[in-house]
Every structure is written in C-alpha cells, then in structure tokens.
Structure 1
Amino acid sequence: MSDEQRAALVVMTRDDGLRSSVSRELDRRYGRDYVVLAVDGPAAARARLAEHAGLPVAALLGGFGGADADGLVCLRELHQAHGGALAVALVRWGAFETAGRIFEAVTLGQLDRWIYAPEWQGDEEFHLMVAETLEEWSARQGGGFEAVRVIGDRWSERAQHLRDSFTRNRIPLRFYEADSVEGRSLLAGLRLEQPKLPVVQLRFRPGSPVLEDPSDLDIAEQFGLFESLDPDAVYDCVVVGSGPAGLGATVYAASEGLSTLAVEPEAVGGQAGTSSLIRNYPGFQNGISGNRLTFSAFIQAWGFGATYRFMRAAVGLRTEGGLHHLALSDDTTVRARAVIIATGAAWRRIGVPRLEEFTGRGVFYGAAVAEAPAMGGRHVFVVGGGNSAGQAAVYLSRYADRVTVLIRRPDLTTTMSDYLIRELEALPNVDIRPRVQVVGGTGEDFLESFTLRDLDTGAESVESGVLFVLIGSEPRTEWLAGTLACDRWGFLHTGAALSDPGVAPAWPLERPPALLETSVPGVFAAGDVRAGSVKRVASAVGEGALAVTLVHAHLAAAGAATH
C-alpha cells in the first residue's frame, strides 16, 4: 500500500460484472489515493479490511436489487462497524423497481446516497457522483490544507465563533487546543509565550500574519476585504444580507446588469449556511449542505460582477432626493436607487440567564457544525422542533453517543417536514422528548447539567449533556425601528399588509406598494425578515429573485419620472 493511500473504498456486490466494472473504474481513477476492495459480502469485506488494519473507510458501495436483493441489509451490517464511511447504493441505470426502496432508505438515514453504476470505461457521470461522495467524506474528516490555523481554548465562546465563521465561509481551517502538545509547539514556533487567545494564523497570506485575539474587523482587514468604496458611487441596488434571500437577489440583480453591492456582517449563508444537509431543495437528489449551496451562490453572484463588502453591518437607513442612504458600521455611507433588505433572523435565545453564561461552553446556538466532531462520547440535546433542529439532530447523531430532541409541543408534525421526522424516528441513537422546557443549568467552566420541566405535570428532572438550541428566530431589524413598518415581533410589513390603517409608518404614495415593497418606496424585503414569509430556503431564494423584478419596475418608473 502506498503511503499516499489514506482510506478504503469497498465495493460489495454478488454481481460479478458489476463488482468488476465498479472496482476497475475506481482503481483506475482513485487507486493512488484510495485502496479499492472488491468483495461479495460483509464477511469478505471484514476479512479484506483486516488486512489493512487502521485504514479508515471512506465509502461502502453496495449493490441493490437483482443478485443483491438483501443489499441494504448487507450495507447496514457493514456500516455499523464503519460509521464514519458513507453508505452508498450502486444502481443499474433502468432498474426503476429499486427506486422506491432506495428513496425510502435515504429518507430514513439508512443510506447516505445512491449512484448509478458505470456503463462504460471512463463514465464521467459515475465519477462525478463518486467525487461528490469523497468530497463529503473528506469534509467530515477535517484536516488537509490549513489555510487558517486557530489556536485557543476549545470552549471559549470567541474561539467557537471563529471556527463557525471560517467553516461557514468555506475557509480551510484547523483548530489546535492551546494546552495540547501540538498547540504548545505551534505557539513556541510563533514565538508567543503568553499570547492573548485565540491566536489566528493566516497561512495563505504573504508572510503568514499572526493575530492575537483578533476582532472580526481585524481578520477582514488581513483578508484584504476592506477595499474602500467609491464615496461618489450610486448603486442601482444594495442588498443587505447574504442568506438565501440576499444571495438570490444579488445573483439576479448582478446577472441582469444592475450595479449591485451586497453588505454582509458575518458569513455567507445566514441560518441556512449552518444546515448540515438540506434534502428538499430542488435539484439535489442526494441533498446538499447549506454551506455548499449558499457559498456556491455567493461565487455565482461575484462572478456576475456583484460587489461584496463583508464584516460591515447596516446601522441606519434614510431616503433623500430619491436616493436611499445606507449607513454602515464602519462609519461609511453608501447610496442606492433601490435597497433589498434580506437580513434574515437570528436564533432566539433560550431566555435562561444561567444557561446564557455557558454559550460556547456547552450551550450552542444553531447547528454549530464546526463543533460536531467534538461531541464524540457525549449525550447531545437539541432544543427545537423545526427543520433546522431536525437537520442538526441528524448531523450530530453521526458523532454523539446519543441525541435527544426536546420540544414543547406534543409532537413534530406541525413544525417539521415529514422526511425529517421519519429519519429521526429511524435513527437508533436519536430520541424525541415532547412537552418539556429547559429551565435551568449548572456548571463551572463548562455546562455540567441542566433542568427540564414537564409542561403537563410540572415535574422537574436533571440531565447531563450538551445543548444545541434552535428554537425559532428573531428578525434582524432593530436598526430599522421607526424607519420601516414592522409587526410586533419586528418582521417587516410589505405589500398589501401596508394598507392596514394600524401600520406605521404609513405607505406615503397614492399607488399601492409592490408585493415585496416596504413602507418606504424603493426599499424591498425578502426572506425570513419579512412578515408572513415561508421559512424555507427555496422560497427565500425565490423572494430574492422576485424582489429584483420589482426593483427593475421601480427604477423604470423613477427614470420615467425624471424625464
């Protein structure tokens, strides 16, 4: 075995022809990096893998149907001993009779994905699906190229924030605990004796700059993200936020020739960017991580010519002389003929003061994908009953010993998609505990225990474990208070809702507002920030695209009015 071969690819099928063609294609394309093992069943697979003791398994590719009528059973049997591998069904093109069982197995989490077997030498569709499988496995493992190194205390809230931000922005990262052997060695190599943690080394920048306890602005400046904006520029459209709605708006605005500026204070993707796997977004048969989906949209918008400014938040909005003036957190102001507000929403805090003290140290808001590998051997509790909570629970179940989903309702049927409910119910290490509320917690440096209250009986119990909190969201509209009409929760009123006489500020024009237009003409809202929006990624992207159509109409009308 070559030193470069880092994992095994197991092909398991009783179909001699299928086994031969798949293993031949894999060996031809991936043989230098992976050991390809072709076997006819679990017993043979275990024997072959024993010959390569210590070698991880990247993927288990198993036949399904025909000679492999029990293929799913065989895959599951082998997968139990190699949980880090991806379980993949091999499907012959045209074997449509297996489709129902495969889709059901994927839905229940018994398969990670399925791929078509190769039909000819160099079948690129087959290799594309294999490459996607290996990329997912590699992403789960971490390691590889380290563009950025972070050295710090694992349970520091600041270190957790940095790991999460870099991960969401798809920046190759490795984290080192400061008191580990590797961490101490790195700090010594950087000649840092008593550094302010966390330490961030940007290895891809000239000179590999090292930052001690840097702010987000410090990091953005070192990344080269602070190019000055032309103070005299007037953009056709400024998009505030780069979650799904903001990305949809920016892609369409830039692709249709509008001069477009997108402003984002944190990371691309918003809440969707933290989802480990989105399976109901059209066009992705095996699902796609929120991180990959949204980052690809960012690159797409950038390629169309959109200008991005990161680590800047919008802090104020005023309209004067037909232009909208957007004040930013870096004390600059940009001007635009139209504005699309797509700031989305932040995770609602749990509201238990004692637990807030443990944020990043046993209490995490959102999916916190970067923290999942550290959950090995732990009991994880996911608080929340929406799709984001379900996706987080599924992902965390790959690492944690046990996952318990805590919900206030009697069941999940009214808050979570059916496919996720079925997957959670099928996972052997996931429980759902209804009608409970987290009311307290204890610990010193890390959350040690927390208190649950039964909402029917009032009885309380003490549990030990880590909390991931996904209990709904609050709109990021505090900076618009008094400027745009909002409902009592802060979500922006748009379109027909502005005709309500109780809405303030009132719509100022004789013409009715456009569908996504706010109480200020030429300012639109899209996605989760909008009152009455559907909290789904696809609908947010659609609203962002629709907002651009309305921007065109607004610009055309404004142009006509000036002539």
Structure 2
Amino acid sequence: MTGTDSASRAGADGEPRPPAIVLLSRNPGMRRLVDRALRRRYAADYQVLTCETVADATEALAALARDGVPPAVVLAGFGEAEADGLEVLTDLPVARTALRVAVVRWGDWGTARPIFDAIGMGRVDRWVTCPELPTDEEFHLAMTEFLHEAAARRGTAFEAVRLVGQRWDPRAQQLRDIFDRNRVPTGFYDADSEAGRAVLDGAGLTDPALPVVILPFRPGHPVLQNPTAIQIADAFGLFEPVADDEEFDVAIVGAGPAGLGAAVYAASEGLRTIVLETEAMGGQAGTSSLIRNYLGFPAGISGSRLAASAYQQAWTFGARFHFSRAATGLSSEGGRHAVHLSDGTAVRTAAVIVATGAAYRRLGVPEIDALQGRGVFYGATVSEGAAMHDQEVFVAGGANSAGQAAAHLARYAARVTLLVRRATLAETMSEYLIRAIGSAPNIEVRYRTEIVGATGTEFLESLRLRDLDTGTEETVHGVLFLLIGAEPHSQWLGEAVAKDRRGYVLTGNDVAGGSAHADALGQGPAMLETSVPGVFAVGDVRRGSVKRVASAVGEGALAVGLVHSYLRRVRAAR
C-alpha cells in the first residue's frame, strides 16, 4: 500500500487528518493511471491511499476507522483482470458516509450490466471510467461530484447558515429541512451543547428565542431569533417586491418539478414569468435522496440538486422568484387574474399555472401527530438521515418516495423497517427500488401492517403496529418517517376552480361539461386547463397526473405551450 506525503504529515502537529480517498486495484495498469490522477488533483486536501490487494484495502479502512478518519470515496477496479471487483467492493468495510465507486476501462462494455445491477440493488453507489490521460476532465468531474456528495453525507460542508436550536424542536427541524431542500449549506448546533452555546455567545446572545438563524454570508451577519419564513427570505436578500402596476404573462404557483419545468420553458420563450413558492424548491421530489429513473442521470441525482439546477436555469432565462409568500386566493376578471398572497399583496397576470403539488398525508393518530419533529418525521429523510446512526428506523409508505427514504436511511440506521399496508410493492413502487430494498441486508419489509398508536412525551418512545390480516398488535421501538399518500395543495383556489372530492384539480375533459365547456372565446378547456379559462394545473395537484418527476416536468413544459395558445387567442380577440 502506498500513501501521499500529506498522509504521512497528518497528525504530526496535532491537526486532524483529512478525509481519505482509498483506491484498490489489482491491475497494475489501472492502478498506476488512477493513482496518478488522484495524487495530482486531490493529495493537498485528502489522504490518497492506494492498495494492491484486498487485504491491504481492508487494513487501510480499519486503520482509518481506528483513527476516526472518514473515508470519502472508496474506488475498486472491475473488469477482465478483476472479475470479482464488484463483490470485493461490496464486501469492504466501508463507512456508511463513504461512496463505493467501481472503476472500469473505457470500452469494457461487459462491465455495464453488472454495474447497473449492483447500483440498482444498492451494493455500489457509482461508477467511473479509468483516466487514460494525465488531464482527464471527465474523470475529475465525476470525482468532484463524488467528493461533494460524500462531504454532504458527513455533514462537513461549508456553512453559509448556522442554525441553533433544540435538537428535536419541530420548528428547528422544519428549518433544517427547508435549508437542506433549498441546498443552503447549513450547520446545525444543539442549543444545549458546548458548540451551540459557543455560537450563541459569539453572536452576543444570552437568552435568545430559539431557534436562532445566523447568516455569516450577509453584510452585518444578521442574527434572527425564531424567525418567520418571510423574515428569513428578506434577510437572505431574496425578496424583490412586485410593483402594484406590474403584470406578468404567466404566474407559476409552486416550484416543484412541474413548476420549475414550466418556469424554464416559459422564461426561455420570452414570457414575463414569476414563480411563487412558499417553502422549498423541488416539492416532494426535493426530499428524495436519490432519483435514479430521471432522464439523463444514469447514476441518479438527488431531488434537491435537480431542483436547484432547474431554479438556476429558470433564473438565468429571466424568471422572477417570489419566496416565502403563500398563495391564499385566486380572482379573475376580464381575462386577467390575480394571485393573492399571505402578506396581503397580489400578483397580477394574464395566465396562471397551478403547480402547488401535494403534501404527505397525516397519519391521523393523535399520539403520532403530537410528536412531529421529535422522533416522528414527515419526509425530512435527507436532513435527518445522519442523525439516525445505529438507530432502529421505521418508514411508513409503499410508493417511490418511501422506497428512496428507506434506501437512504439504511446507510445510517442499524435497521430500517418499511411498513406497507398493501400485500405487495409491485403496484406502487418502481422495480429498481424494490430490488434495492430486497438486497439491502438491513432493510425489512412488513406488508399488510398499519400504525395504530404510539407513546412518548418529549420524544417518540414506542409504536403500536397492527397486522391487517390477523388483527394482532405489537409494540416496537424506533424513529418513524411517514411518506404515506398525498393531499393536494388546492384549497387556496376556492370554489371557482373545479376539483374532485379529494381536492385534486380537474383539467381538460375532466372539467364538468368536458368539451361542451366554453370560455369567453368559444373554446373548451385545453388539455391542462381548469374550469377557469387561462388557469392551468400541472403535476401532483392535478387529477390523473402520473406521480413521477419526469412526467411533472413534461406537464410543466406542455402547459407553457398551452399558455402561448391562450394568450394569442386573448390578444387576437381584443
């Protein structure tokens, strides 16, 4: 085994050793090329440990664990000369926060299917092609992404925001979740810890109203005590007032995948576009730790990263974003619409795209709902994942979001139990997730099971489960994540916009009267148009939508084309 000069110097002056990049390849040619690339770029910030044998790699990882040094990425060769490379990579004692990455030679097509299967089953995280040249930027682009994800898993990323609060306070947990979903680098400090007290002392606070949000990146380092969402948005410098006489071509309500998809296409095609978002970009998809079935990302992408990239893309094209103001009503008159907001203002627009999505449905068990944020979490698997180290974790739900949550939490928890009311996952979950869950050694699925009770005052102490077939009840202990069904965010639309009995917005031929319905221009509702002409609905808020990120983005893009047609007809009629 060989190491870098930085590894030999680490610890000599008492400073903590940097994270490690560990390479195992029994192929001398591959080992030389990858080792050269890693040392030239990363040796200043990481320990680069190159191993020739499985025994060397096992010992290197054990030594890192003894020294408390986290491995960031563990790479292992796979190919003709290392046919068992995937099995070796799977069996190595790798820390749960590290990424397992298979390295292959370009053109070795036979490695593709086994790697994809291993990733799909959760045995391997990523793959990368061996760098053939001294400056192989494709390799380094992939490595940068791996190291960034590993840093996020360890919680050692740059802190643009410092949040101080009680560990299990629901408001503090909500803020952590919002910051994580918006990809704001955040450091959380328990107010009762020595580090938390030091942060408060540094801010000159002795008896603050928790939680406290400190913004070191802003002029004057603003310190906010128990702030509202509007106060946070204003302190971030995100709020750009809308003038009373300002009118947009289209107002998009909601910044989930459907809303962001609409924003990118509307702004890129020259429409004056504003996006209204009350909480966090990405909607429910923003809470997904890894989406593997979205077009163009073969290794997968986190929901928050996908949303942040879409936001930047829409913003680059000129879309305006209005954060932390919730839509409270919609009024229409003379072919014009106004979206009324929670701060008492209104946004005037020629057309509206409703993309407010849906929220995870509440369980309806009073003891459970009373403990939200204190051992009971709706979504929040990304922000709370690292805190589940060695915990017993239960995930309620049977759709893709629950499967992604279980796979993510299994990196940290001692055991994850998926609680499913149905007798199978086949009807509600993608095949790749079913395979990943089935192959994970610390994930168990309990079918035909529901939660009927809980105990706990300050924190969840126990759950009571019932077998739906036998009626037998059992008490278990652990932390609970709920991802069960959805309730559409459509109440703010009032009675003018037709909905079904569950609150999903009706569009196109589903509108009462179907094609017989006609607007002031003699046209029936378009495919995504609601009962109010010029108001369109896309994504999870719409009845009949396909609950997938790709379809939501597609609906957003399609709605923009329908908005163009509507605006042309309105302008031609004037």
What's the TM-score, normalizing by structure 2? Answer: 0.95
Q: Which residue of 1 aligns with 2:13?
A: none
Please tell me whether the aligned partners of residues 435 and 454 of structure 1 are also in contact (alpha carbons under 8 angstroms): yes
Partner of 2:141: 128
Identity of matched residues, %:
56
CA distance in structure 2 between the aligned counterparts of 1:75 and 1:189, rounded to whole angstroms: 45
Deviation for aligned residue 1:236: 0.5
- 1:54 matched to which residue of 2? 68
Q: Matched residues in 2 for 1:164 and 1:172: separation? A: 11
Q: Could you tell me which of 190, 205, 229 is aligned with 1:192?
A: 205
Q: Is the 8 A contact 1:5 1:33 kept in 2?
A: no
Tell me the distance in 1 between the aligned counterparts of 2:196 and 2:324.
Answer: 28
Match of 2:541 in 1: 529
Contact 1:498–1:507 (Cα < 8 Å) also in 2: no
Q: What's the counterpart of residue 483 of structure 1? A: 496
What 5-or-longer segments of structure 1 have no aligned partner?
Answer: none
CA distance in 2, matches of 1:367, 1:266: 13
SS at match of 2:304: helix
Amino acid at match of 2:143: V
Distance 1:81 1:539 in 2: 36
For residue 317 of structure 1, give the secondary structure of its aligned residue in structure 2.
strand
Counterpart in the other structure of 1:159: 172
Q: How many Å separate the matches in 2 of 1:98 and 1:144?
A: 33
Deviates more, 1:294-303 or 1:40-49: 40-49
Structure 1 vs Structure 2 CA RMSD: 1.6
Contact 2:177 2:380 in 1 (8 A): no
CA separation in 1, counterparts of 2:194 and 2:508? 59
Please, which of 486, 489, 497 is the counterpart of residue 473 of structure 1? 486
Give the conservation status (yes or no) of the 8 Å contact 2:239–2:322: yes
Q: Which residue of 2 aligns with 1:538?
A: 550
Residue range with higher mean Cα deviation, 362-371 or 413-422: 362-371
| Separation (CA, whole Å) in 2 of partners of 1:435 and 1:406 | 8
| Cα-to-partner distance string for 1:463-509 (whole Å, 9 max, x where unaligned) | 11111000011000011130201011111110111254799xx6545
Q: How does 1:250-269 map to 2 (within 5 A)?
A: 250-269=263-282
Residue among 330, 336, 345 paired with 1:323: 336
Partner of 1:88: 101
The unaligned stretches of length 5 or more in structure 2 are 1-5, 11-15
Whether the 8 Å contact between 2:212 and 2:226 is mirrored in structure 1 is yes
Quick one: which of 18, 26, 37 aligns to 2:38?
26
Any idea what SS the aligned residue of 1:447 has? coil
- The residue that corresponds to 1:212 in the other structure is 225
Question: SS at the partner of 1:338?
Answer: strand
Contact 2:392/2:416 (CA < 8 Å) preserved in 1? yes
Q: Which amino acid aligns with 1:557?
A: R
Query: Which residue of the other structure, out of 388, 394, 397, is the alignment partner of 1:381?
Result: 394
Partner of 2:215: 202
Residue 45 of structure 1 aligns with which residue?
A: 57
Pick from 79, 82, 88 the counterpart of residue 65 of structure 1: 79
Q: Distance in 1 between matches of 2:60 and 2:302?
A: 33
Contact 2:330–2:494 under 8 Å retained in 1 = no
Counterpart CA distance in 1 for 2:382 and 2:97 is 16
Aligned to 2:366: 353
String of CA shifts for 1:217-273, please: whole Å, max 9, x gaps. Answer: 111121122322111011011000000000000000000000001100001110000
Distance 1:398 1:306 in 2: 38
- Indicate how the Cα distance of structure 1 residues 473 and 533 shifts in structure 2: closer, same or farther if over 3 A, else same: same
- In the aligned structure 1, how far is the partner of 2:528 from the partner of 2:515? 19
Give the 5 Å matches for 1:210-289.
210-289=223-302
Equivalent residue for 2:350?
A: 337
| Corresponding residue of 1:412 | 425
- Give me the whole-angstrom Cα distance separating, in 1, the residues matched to 2:396 and 2:63: 43
- Report deviation, 1:44: 1.1
Task: Report the equivalent of 1:309.
Answer: 322
Superposed counterparts of 1:110-129, under 5 Å: 110-129=123-142
Q: What SS class does the counterpart of residue 533 from structure 2 fall into?
A: coil
User: Does the residue aligned with 1:65 lie in a helix, a strand or coil?
Assistant: coil
Q: Distance in 1 between matches of 2:199 and 2:253?
A: 39
Cα distance between partner residues in 1 of 2:140 and 2:218: 34
Taking the aligned partners of 2:462 and 2:26, their CA distance within structure 1 comes to 50
CA-CA distance at 1:50 after TM superposition: 5.8
Q: Which residue of 1 aligns with 2:150?
A: 137
Matched, 1:77 2:91: yes
In 1, Cα distance between equivalents of 2:408 and 2:380? 9
Match for residue 447 of structure 1?
460
Shift of 1:73: 1.8
**Structure 2: distance between partners of 1:430 and 1:383:** 13
Displacement after TM superposition at 1:373 (Å): 0.8
2:172 maps to 1:150 = no
Distance 1:62 1:501, change over 3 A: closer
User: Which segment drifts farther, 61-70 or 189-198?
Assistant: 189-198
